Amino acid sequence: MAQWSKGEIERAFHHMLAVVDNCGVAVDWNPYVDLFTEDAEYHDDVFPPRIGREAIRKWLTGIFATYPQNHMRHFPCPWYIIDEDRGWLVCEFLNRMVDPGDGRIYEAKNYTLYKYAGNNMWSFEEDQYNPAALATMLKDWMKVKDGSNNGSTIFD
């Protein structure tokens, strides 16, 4: 028997999406991190796991404070699936950059697994993406934004 209803998980996810939209615009990821339990885990393809909300906060706010990630401000979610029995949600995010001036969309796909913990809180996030594709997208964006192809990213 499911601990939470599909409706509760879905409402919590839509709440998170609204928080993410605001965080991206404000370039302040603290409200997003506040949606994680104190003992939450955050796993990423490139970086070591982060255990605990404050470890997640330190890492995530640091990543999005650096260039060019501080210009990654939009995260459309084209689809998601809820596993009500496990309390899991899997989705696709598009990590989208602000327009560098050429009108093109610069984005890279990210697949995320969340584990719901109740009360609009999440206990686990795991991001799966292609680091090389993300680095290429960031470099292409920087070339337009800065007129240079010499920049490096945290994903190189």
Residue ranges of the domains in the chain?
6-146
Mean per-residue pLDDT of the chain:
94
* pLDDT per position as a tens digit, 28-42: 999 999 999 999 999
Q: How confident is the model at residue 45 (pLDDT cuts 50, 70, 90)?
A: confident
User: What is the rounded average pLDDT of the residues 112-137?
Assistant: 96
Q: Is the CATH number 3.40.50.300 carried by domain 6-146?
A: no
* pLDDT per position as a tens digit, 57-111: 999 999 999 999 999 999 999 999 999 999 999 999 999 999 999 999 999 999 9
22-50: b (≥16 Cβ within 10 Å) or e: ebbeeeebeebbebbbeebbbebeeeeeb
pLDDT above 70 (res 155): no
